[in-house]
Amino acid sequence: MIAIPTKSSHTGQDYLPKNVTETTKRSPNQSLLPLTAKINPHDHLEIGGCDLKTLVQQFGSPLYILDETTLRTACQQYRDNFKTYYQGESQVIYASKAWSCLAVVGVIAKENLGFDVVSGGELYTTQKALSQLGYSCQEIAQKIYFHGNNKSVVELEQAIEVGCTIIVDNWLELETLAQLGNSSPNRTIPILIRLTPGIECHTHEYIRTGHLDSKFGFDPNQLEAVFTYLTEHKSLDCRGLHAHIGSQIFEKQPHQDLAGVLVEWLKIGQEYGLTLPELNIGGGLGICYTEEDDPPSIEEWVKAVSEAVMKACKRSEIPLPKLIAEPGRSLIGSACVTAYTVGSRKEIPEIRTYIAVDGGMSDNPRPITYQSAYRVVLGNKMSAEINETVTVAGKHCESGDILIKDAQLPQTHPGDILVIMGTGAYNYSMASNYNRLPRPAAVLVHNGEANLILRRESYDDLIRQDCLPQKLLS
């Protein structure tokens, strides 16, 4: 578990794990910093054997720093614990929307996980990475599940060409796929049916997807009509059911309840003559963004879900399905930090002190979008005493561009390296070019080596898609 800063201990060391003998036994989602984080003799934060100040000098800032050990450990814990606790076949697939790029796909594929994609772009990225890694077309098809509540015909045709499983979200999509299947009589289209189970979680309104008032999935009262439709359209190979109840969840009970509901629906589908050999219970396990966060470990979550599915199947007297889970944030969120360079300072007596960094809402839109909280350290002064409360502001022309309110830090100076923790999920993937800021670079660190995985955008990149009409030039 993470260390909790106390009034008697005020330095960046408070955020480092303590009393840990084996890094890989810790659950990454319960740690504020990546598993390899430590302080080196220069009093600098070091991750993956790389000095963060040196990384900023080499690659610039803002800079996403992704720890390969932490990412791989999370993958292994999900994969291996399902093998331990679930008596049937299982498959863990990464929710790519958390962060999709060739290198992230590559690392996760090396741990034998599959991929949940939600757009043609994510599908293309995943397909390209797996192809470059040497996977066959058949292997690629088996690894990818395609989500989305409004897939275009072009995207559906793209998915059919790849051969991946399509998670069907609504009637329009189901009917469109049937039509596309009829145009290719020698091909069946593997699908799962997404359902809205009516299970709510204590999480942010924008990231609750399992309650009935949701844009995602078929409602339960449509279930039998969907099953009837599937029996009439043999080009659609329905492999099973899917549901996802939300994100950043700290409770195990909602997923246990979900398992029971889905198994009941699975049995109904089998009574219609459908085989339905797969059950996808989604993802949503939370991570620690602050020391107050207390999510279950990956092992605890997997054990609870596995036991709930097995119990429900025994009660319903049906064979164990292939159990699929699709974690995203809990795989990659804690594996990354973002390093910034401190710039200007503004002190408003008896009100607030602002320090500004060279990034902000364009590289991390979660604070302004979800009011998300983060923790921060000075990466070049880890042992310095924390002696002031400041608000960390971004550089954008937007008064709401605040990364952290009331951050506890040592005295800062221009040029210091400020490090925000837990930025692996939904930071780069939601990044923008607001104010025409180029998006940051990202590096993968491991055993003292840093490899560039995303180049920093240039000003030329910003205008690459711009078109100046000829009439303006005459």
Per-residue pLDDT band for 208 (boundaries 50, 70, 90) equals very low
Q: What are the pLDDT digits (tens) for 141-185? A: 999 999 999 999 999 999 999 999 999 999 999 999 999 998 877
Q: What are the pLDDT digits (tens) for 350-374? A: 999 999 999 999 999 999 999 999 9
> Of the candidates 332, 349, 373, which is a domain's last residue?
332
Share of the chain above pLDDT 70, in %: 93
Q: Tell me, yes or no, whether 158 and 92 share the same domain.
A: yes
Q: Is 471 part of any domain?
A: no
Mean pLDDT of the chain: 92
pLDDT at 92 over 90: yes
Whole-number pLDDT of residue 18? 61
> Of the candidates 312, 332, 352, which is a domain's last residue?
332
Q: Tell me, yes or no, whether 406 and 263 share the same domain.
A: no
Whole-number pLDDT of residue 247? 86
Share of the chain above pLDDT 90, in %: 85
Q: Is 6 part of any domain?
A: no
What's the whole-number mean pLDDT along residues 416-441? 97
Q: Tell me, yes or no, whether 154 and 181 share the same domain.
A: yes
In the annotation, is 50 catalytic? Answer: no
Q: Is 309 part of any domain?
A: yes
Q: Is 5 part of any domain?
A: no
Per-residue pLDDT band for 209 (boundaries 50, 70, 90) equals very low
Q: What are the pLDDT digits (tens) for 433-461? A: 999 999 999 999 999 999 999 999 999 99
pLDDT at 4 over 60: no
Does pTM top 0.75 for this prediction? yes
Choosing from 288, 336, 397, 467, the catalytic residue is 397
pLDDT at 3 over 90: no
Q: Tell me, yes or no, whether 198 and 261 share the same domain.
A: yes
Residues composing the chain: 474
Q: Kindly give the pairing relationship between strand 402-409 and strand 388-393.
A: antiparallel
Q: What are the pLDDT digits (tens) for 305-323? A: 999 999 999 999 999 999 9
Q: Is 455 part of any domain?
A: yes
SS3 annotation, the chain: CCCCCECCECCHHHHCCCCCCCHHHCCHHHCCCCCCCEECCCCCEEECCEEHHHHHHHHCCCEEEEEHHHHHHHHHHHHHHHHHHCCCCEEEEEEHHHCCCHHHHHHHHHCCCEEEECCHHHHHHHHHHHHHCCCCHHHHHHHEEECCCCCCHHHHHHHHHHCCEEEECCHHHHHHHHHHHHCCCCCCEEEEEEECCCCCCCCCHHHCCCCCCCCCCECHHHHHHHHHHHHHCCCEEEEEEECCCCCCECCCHHHHHHHHHHHHHHHHHHHCCCCCCEEECCCCECCCCCCCCCCCCHHHHHHHHHHHHHHHHHHHCCCCCEEEECCCHHHHHHHEEEEEEEEEEEEECCCEEEEEECCCCCCCCHHHHHCCCCCEEECCCCCCCCCEEEEEECCCCCCCCEEEEEEEECCCCCCCEEEEECCCCCCCCCCCCHHHCCCCEEEEEECCEEEEEECCCCHHHHCCCCCCCHHHCC
Q: Which is higher by pLDDT, 216 or 375?
A: 375
pLDDT at 205 over 50: no
What does residue 314 show for φ and ψ, rounded to 5 degrees? -65, -40
Q: Tell me, yes or no, whether 281 and 342 share the same domain.
A: no
Q: Tell me, yes or no, whether 36 and 59 share the same domain.
A: yes
What's the whole-number mean pLDDT along residues 255-265? 92
Q: Is 184 part of any domain?
A: yes
Q: Is 7 part of any domain?
A: no
Q: Tell me, yes or no, whether 328 and 305 share the same domain.
A: yes
Provide the domain count of the chain: 2
Q: For the domain that residue 86 is a member of, what is the CATH number?
A: 3.20.20.10
Q: Tell me, yes or no, whether 159 and 302 share the same domain.
A: yes
Q: Is 1 part of any domain?
A: no
Q: What are the pLDDT digits (tens) for 221-239? A: 899 999 999 999 999 999 9
> Of the candidates 311, 332, 353, which is a domain's last residue?
332
Q: Tell me, yes or no, whether 218 and 159 share the same domain.
A: yes
Q: Write the single-letter amino acid at 252.
A: K
Contact criterion met (CB below 8 Å) for 214 and 272: no
Domain span at residue 369 reads 12-67+333-461
Q: Tell me, yes or no, whether 50 and 63 share the same domain.
A: yes
Q: For the domain that residue 408 is a member of, what is the CATH number?
A: 2.40.37.10
Q: Tell me, yes or no, whether 61 and 79 share the same domain.
A: no
Per-residue pLDDT band for 15 (boundaries 50, 70, 90) equals confident
What's the whole-number mean pLDDT along residues 186-208? 70
Q: Tell me, yes or no, whether 80 and 215 share the same domain.
A: yes
